[in-house]
Amino acid sequence: MNPDRAGLDALMEITSRPELVFVRGEGSWLEDHQGKRYLDFIQGWAVNCLGHNPPQIADALVRQSKLLVNPSPAFYNQPSIDLATRLVGASCFDRIFFANSGAEANEGAIKLARKWGQLHRNGAYKIITFDHSFHGRTLATMSASGKPGWDRKFAPQVDGFPKARLNDLDSVRNLIDEQTVAIMLEPVQGEGGVVPASTEFLQALRDLTREREMLLIVDEVQTGMGRTGVLFAHQRAGIEPDIMTLGKGIGGGVPLAALCAREAVSCFEHGDQGGTYNGNPLMTAVGVAIFDTLTAPGFLEGVEERGWHLSEGLTALSEKWGMLGERGLGLLRALVMDRDDGPALVEAAQQRAPEGLLLNSPRPNLLRFMPALNVSKDEIDTMLAWLDELIARARR
């Protein structure tokens, strides 16, 4: 029984989707309309940090929806105060603006940097970003992104995002001029193929931006909220950026994102920033429940531990099949293959029977793994065993 084609066609075609409809999820597992189960190592693109349908989300939504859903961002509400207080307490940032998506949080970061440039740097507005970076799908965040070909899509671009090379300090220095107000990067490029910025590079960017009176912006939409085994990935490098954006994991699956800034750069004036749903108590109540779970004693240590377990398993697979190794931090990892098998393996994994496996291939020679942060060692071992079979079949 296939899903009704007319029904599928009522949705705008934005990507090639398999002809199945997911109806239920629990932890690391998804179930489709025919009752087939899938082990999910995508998790809504590193979004469902506690897996599918954790009780924390259902409880928070039920409780808060009976109290207050949306008084408007023109008034205070308690869950947004509670979540902002937690984020401030756990970071070097002083002020939080809640948004609905990572792209929207990044738009806010870009606006805030430009505003700061108007106030303190004589109108400097350029923000140096990086080749192969990804910051979202609005016009400005697409312009900030370094995805090949994106500079010609929906032209003309938003001006002012010169591109440097990751982990190449000279390529950054060479782009700086009077108009440069900030440098913006992902601590680990996610969509670019799980490429970490080195600790030395992050520290050098912090020094450089201080020296040249520029801001350092970290896009932690994918790396934040425990994904790499610490709450925020930049903390591994011991640096304190001026601005950070969060998305994905912060809502555990519901639309929530955040723009975090230090007091000295929180320079929006009334009317500069806002949005109908921003900071609504329904989503921020979920954010509080997620935050408290991620920061409970031992949780992040568990992420780090299972990250190593996944890393060891992927290294063993790579050695067995003569691949090029694995890389990543915590539970954001990639297997680098010796050939462009990625899309075929993703397809075969999904079609695997009786149970399927959901994987992602951001580049043809790469598989990316972003399981729930509470994925079990057994589930990791199951995924590795199935992947081994799939590789064997593909290479036979």
Ligand X SMILES: *Cc1c(COP(=O)(O)O)cnc(C)c1O
**Residues making contact with ligand X (CB under 6 A):** 101-103, 106, 134-136, 186, 190-191, 219, 221-222, 247-248
Q: Is-contact 271 74, C-beta < 8 A?
A: no
Min. distance of Cβ 373 from ligand X in angstroms? 16
Give the residue with the Cβ less far from ligand X, 226 or 313: 226
Min. distance of Cβ 197 from ligand X in angstroms? 12
- DSSP character at residue 252: B
Give the residue with the Cβ less far from ligand X, 222 or 228: 222
Q: Is-contact 373 303, C-beta < 8 A?
A: yes
d(CA 389, CA 29): 20
Give the residue with the Cβ less far from ligand X, 103 or 334: 103
Give the residue with the Cβ less far from ligand X, 247 or 313: 247
Give the residue with the Cβ less far from ligand X, 215 or 332: 332
DSSP 3-state of 127? strand
- Which residues lie below 8 Å from residue 2, measured CB to CB, with a gap of 6+? 19
> Computed from CA positions of residues 364, 222, 68, 107, in that sequence, does the dihedral angle turn out positive or negative?
negative
> Which runs of E-coded beta strand occur in the chain?
22-26, 29-32, 37-40, 95-99, 126-130, 163-164, 180-185, 188-189, 195-196, 215-219, 243-246, 257-261, 326-329, 332-336, 356-358, 366-369
Min. distance of Cβ 277 from ligand X in angstroms? 13
Give the residue with the Cβ less far from ligand X, 50 or 391: 50
Q: Is-contact 115 267, C-beta < 8 A?
A: yes
d(CA 106, CA 99): 9
Give the residue with the Cβ less far from ligand X, 43 or 222: 222
Cα radius of gyration rounded to whole Å, the chain: 21
Min. distance of Cβ 220 from ligand X in angstroms? 7
Min. distance of Cβ 138 from ligand X in angstroms? 8
For residue 206, report the phi and psi dihedrals to the nearest 5 degrees: -65, -45
Min. distance of Cβ 355 from ligand X in angstroms? 27
Min. distance of Cβ 37 from ligand X in angstroms? 26
Beta bridge partners of 326: 335
Min. distance of Cβ 334 from ligand X in angstroms? 14
- State the residue number with the nearest CB to ligand X: 102
Give the residue with the Cβ less far from ligand X, 222 or 266: 222
Closest by Cα among 316, 317, 314, 391 to 348: 391
In one-letter notation, the amino acid at residue 74 is: A
Closest by Cα among 43, 24, 85 to 373: 43
Min. distance of Cβ 219 from ligand X in angstroms? 5
Give the residue with the Cβ less far from ligand X, 50 or 390: 50
Q: Which residues of 118-133 are buried (b: 16+ CB within 10 A; e: fewer)?
A: eeebeebbbbbbbbbb
